[in-house]
Structure 1
């Protein structure tokens, strides 16, 4: 078995596409701003984050037809300088819903939401993991 991606099911595909590309600065593997599917990678990363139009997926899995309630995902991106990344995202009109703040004695985090309300965590490790 091989890990392929994390896929977020979204109803505002265009808004989410722009958020992951323009605000977070992830690179689309191909241009698809109108969907119904797109995959992004972070600089130097091999794991992809994909967006899937929820209505299209509901045609396959009818249990997805209803509106989701509450947070359904948390996308975590590791950064080397949390304050710098948060300042950069602020220039792109992203406002943290939490942080930057310590999460443990070894890690600081900041949380944002995409247009669908999915949580995005930026994390900076202060000391190496053992």
Structure 2
């Protein structure tokens, strides 16, 4: 297992994008200033911080009401075999909120909460098809 990133779930994506890019000086990966997702890297080191529009995850989890609220962070763990890993952790008492299911054409995900209610995403990256 590998820690992929800590993702901040935000309501005002453009404002937060400008803060991390222009105020803190982190390097955006793709330049998606309007969202719904962007990863920022420091000048040294491999780890980074990612922003994601809160309503996107609320929609995936079926928690989208009149306005997206609640979750503010997301710990992302990358695993090799998502289905097998989910079977193992549910046998040990984990309760999945969502998935395993496709998130994009490049990855499959599952979501669960830790005992304090923090959101955790498990990712399996798929091979790109030629």
TM score, norm. by length of structure 1: 0.50
TM score, norm. by length of structure 2: 0.50
